[in-house]
Amino acid sequence: MTSRSERHQGGLGRGLSALIPTRPTAIEAPTEIPLARIAPNPYQPRAEIAPEALAELAASIAEHGVLQPILVTETIDGYRLVAGERRVRASRLAGLERIPAVVRELADHDQLELALVENIQREDLDPLEEARAYRQLIDEFGFTQEKLAKRMGKARPTIANSLRLLELDPEVQAALAAGLISEGHARALGGLPTDRQARVLAVVIERELSVRQAEELVRRLRQEPAAAAATRGADAPAVDAELERVEGDLRTALGTKVSISRSRRGGRIIIEFYSDEELSRLFDRLVGGTE
């Protein structure tokens, strides 16, 4: 049976010609070249390849061969890989000595740009790998978001949203790369100041919140400081910094609006809920259930 990875590559192979216009040339027929003479692609956007997926692809190649040729450019010492990193690694794992390849003459700048664009299109990149590749095209090749969106066949807001992932707290980025949260969760957490994202991330993971629930949690946390400031009034003294910190920690831990008010002999904590289900959740959270 053909692996998912091979099917994925074959299905996207025809999209490159629409992305990068080329002068009419003779049909580029694949030729077999030695794997040992292929140097790696210095602009490979994929940070890691899962060993399980690589083993699956290697097993498919051992049985059926390489169904989609790789793309290389010729160098003095051999070849430089432009696209097909997974197929090269899997072929080596399968014990092959040669691999079908299309050899294309490219200037260095064109080669690197093409490598990035084609790999973004062909490879099953995770959201952060894709965002880093977009950033590289912008920083090193002078793309604007509009030009990049047109080249990739995507809407400009899609590119912008992808790039915002690179501004997230490192812990949020790590959770996204590990698959602990989705891209939708990450975008929701991006609505908070960076120094608050990691604490809310822990709540999202612990409670297994949906994207919609995470968005609602972030909305409440963002509204609360503004509401508190409006209640105090312009001339009222600011809330004690430590009290405000405790209030913020409680909002994060409970996932709902929490307010603390002090009096001369103590004070009160107000915890709000918006449904019977939320009341039950808060009860379990505070009491810890009964035996």
Residue 162 belongs to what H/E stretch?
Answer: helix 156-164
The yes-or-no verdict on residue 20 having pLDDT over 60 is no
Q: pLDDT (tens digit, 9 = 90+) per residue, 223-264?
A: 765 555 444 444 444 445 666 777 777 777 777 777 776 666
Q: Are residues 94 and 28 in the same domain?
A: yes
Distance CA 38, CA 34 (A): 7
Mean pLDDT of the chain: 75
Domain that holds residue 79: 4-125
pLDDT of 9 over the 60 cut: no
Q: Are residues 112 and 173 in the same domain?
A: no
DSSP-derived pairing of the beta strands 31-34 and 38-39: unpaired
| pLDDT > 60? residue 17 | no
Last residue of a domain, one of 125, 151, 184: 125
Q: Phi first, then psi: what are they for 169, rounded to 5°? A: -55, 140
Taking 50 as the threshold, does the pLDDT of residue 285 lie above it? Answer: yes
Residues whose CB is less than 8 angstroms from the CB of residue 291 and which lie 6 or more positions away in sequence, other chains included: none
Q: Is residue 189 situated within a structural domain?
A: yes
Q: Are both 10 and 120 inside the same structural domain?
A: yes
pLDDT value at position 207? Answer: 83
Q: Is 65 inside any structural domain?
A: yes
Structure pTM? Answer: 0.52
Whether 137 and 131 have beta carbons less than 8 Å apart is answered as no
Task: Give pLDDT tens digits for 36-66.
Answer: 998 887 766 666 677 887 888 889 888 888 8
- Work out how many domains the chain is built from and give that number: 2
Residues 241 and 172 in one domain: yes
The residue assigned the tokens 């609602």 is 216
Percentage of the chain with pLDDT > 70? 71
In a domain, 151, yes or no: no
Q: Please indicate, yes or no, whether residues 110 and 172 belong to a single structural domain of this protein.
A: no
Active site (catalytic) residues = 85
Residue 167 has pLDDT above 50, yes or no: yes
57/53 Cα distance (integer angstroms): 6
Q: Give the integer Cα–Cα distance in Å for 210 and 182.
A: 9
Q: Please compute the mean of the pLDDT values over residues 108-113 and round it to a whole number.
A: 63
Q: Tell me: the pLDDT tens digits for 186-200?
A: 999 998 888 889 888
Q: What is the arithmetic mean of pLDDT over 88-114?
A: 79
Residue 20 within a domain? yes
Q: Is residue 283 part of a domain?
A: yes
Q: Who's near 208: CB < 8 A, 6+ residues apart?
A: none
Domain boundary among 125, 153, 182: 125
Computed on alpha carbons and rounded to an integer, the radius of gyration of the chain in Å comes to 26
In this structure, how many other beta carbons lie within 10 angstroms of the beta carbon of residue 91?
A: 24
Q: Are residues 248 and 175 in the same domain?
A: yes
The CATH number of whichever domain residue 82 belongs to comes to 3.90.1530.30
Q: Are residues 9 and 116 in the same domain?
A: yes
9 and 103 co-located in one domain: yes
What tokens does 82 get? 């432009």
94 and 185 belong to one structural domain: no
